[in-house]
Amino acid sequence: MSPIIAPFPANRPRRLRRNAALRAMVRENTLTPADLIWPVFIQAGENAETPVPSMPGVTRKTVDRIAIAAKEAAALGIPAICLFPYTAQEDRTEDCAMAWSPDNLTNRAIRAIKDAAPEIAVMTDIALDPYNINGHDGFVEGETIVNDRTVEALVKMALAQADAGADILGPSDMMDGRIGAIRTALEAAGHQDVAILSYAAKFASAFYGPFRDAVGASGALKGDKKTYQIDPANRETALRAVARDVGEGADMVMVKPGLPYLDICREVRDRFEVPTFAYQVSGEYAMVQAASANGWLDHDAVMIESLMAFKRAGCDGVLSYFAPAAAKLLNS
Residue nearest ligand PBG by beta-carbon distance: 211
Does 172 sit near ligand PBG (CB under 6 A)?
Answer: yes
H or E element in which residue 4 lies: none
Residues 72 to 91 in contact with ligand PBG, rule: CB under 6 A: none
Could you tell me which of 195, 190, 202, 189 has the C-alpha nearest to residue 156? 189
- Cα-Cα-Cα-Cα torsion 202, 204, 209, 213, nearest 10 degrees, comes to 70
Among 202, 225, 226, 328, the one annotated catalytic: 202
Using alpha carbons only, give the angle 95, 170, 182 rounded to the nearest 5 degrees.
65
Among 58, 81, 158, 281, binds ligand PBG (CB under 6 A): 281
Pick between residue 62 and residue 150 the one whose CB is nearest to ligand PBG.
Answer: 150
Q: Which is nearer to ligand PBG, 99 or 113 (CB)?
A: 99
Cβ neighbors of 241 (< 8 A, separation 6 or more) are: 200, 201, 230
Q: Could you give the CA distance from residue 213 to residue 218 in angstroms, rounded to a whole number?
A: 5
User: Binding of ligand PBG at residue 248 (CB under 6 A)?
Assistant: no
CA dist 199 and 308 (Å) reads 21
| 282 sits near ligand PBG (criterion: CB under 6 A) | yes
**114 included as an active-site residue:** no
Q: What is the DSSP letter of 6?
A: P
CB of 1 to ligand PBG, least distance (A): 41
**Whether 202 is catalytic:** yes
Supply the minimum distance, in Å, between the C-beta of residue 192 and ligand PBG: 25
Q: Could you say whether residue 211 binds ligand PBG (CB under 6 A)?
A: yes
Under rule CB under 6 A, residue 59 binds ligand PBG? no
Find all residues with CB under 8 Å of 1, minimum gap 6, and list them.
none
Contacts of 6 (CB under 8 A, 6+ apart): none
129 near ligand PBG, rule: CB under 6 A: yes
Q: Give the one residue of 71, 212, 244, 266 binding ligand PBG; rule: CB under 6 A.
A: 212
Least CB distance to ligand PBG at residue 54 (A): 10
Considering beta carbons, is residue 183 or 225 the nearer one to ligand PBG? Answer: 225
Q: What share of the chain is helix, strand, coil (3-state, %, to 5)?
A: 45, 20, 35
Task: Please identify which residue in 203, 208, 228, 310 interacts with ligand PBG, judged by CB under 6 A.
Answer: 208
Q: Which residues bind ligand PBG (CB under 6 A)?
A: 125, 127, 129, 137, 172-173, 208, 211-212, 225, 281-282
**What residues are labeled active site?**
202, 256
